[in-house]
Amino acid sequence: MVLVLGDSLSAGHGLGQGQSWVALLERRLAARGLPHRVVNASVSGLTTAEGRARLPDLLARHRPAVLVLALGGNDGLRGLPLRAMEANLRAMVEQARAAGARVLLAGVRLPPNYGPFYTRAFERVFRKVADETGAVLLPSLLAGVEEDRSLFQADGLHPTAAAQPRILDNVWPLLQPLLEATARPTA
């Protein structure tokens, strides 16, 4: 089972039923005959602190083989302390690994109006957590999307339905080996 814990980018904010990249992931898994089901525990507005509070129950309830952790954007947009974000992400990766899940950590980039110091430091948090915990890192969930403003809803923050296949294509090359590793029998 794949558990996706994210914010509005994974919850499908502003999209119709079945249009989010997570819904497309479910369809891709089924089309390829892969046995994994997907639980989308993403909530619009979720911060890393809130995700950290929710994760133990989600791990106990769903027992995922893979956790896609796609949080941090709301921390950055709110200008929350990066040390707290880092500690929350690290704790969630460690909790998931202790529960037997492999972890894909999906980073995001902030709009430039937060200033170069904060935005660079924000992006480094994801790399640091991945390096120190062994999580697989996707540096930017929205790579290839964030450069094309026509792929965003009127709010300028949330991708359109047309962008969702590209987001899934960003996730898939890193997720697929994790799925394959969980499907292999262990010795």
Active site residues: 8, 155, 158
Neighbours of 55 (CB within 10 A): 23
101: left (phi over 0), alpha (psi -120 to 50) or beta: beta
Residues 133 and 103 sit within 8 Å (Cβ to Cβ)? yes
Instruction: Write b or e for each residue in 89-114: b if 16 or more Cβ atoms lie within 10 A of its Cβ, otherwise e.
Output: bbbbbbbbeebebbbbbbbbbbeeee
**Strand spans (E) along the chain:** 2-6, 38-40, 66-70, 102-106, 136-138
Beta bridge partners of 152: 159
CA 97 to chain centre: 16
Rounded CA-CA distance 175/169 in Å is 10
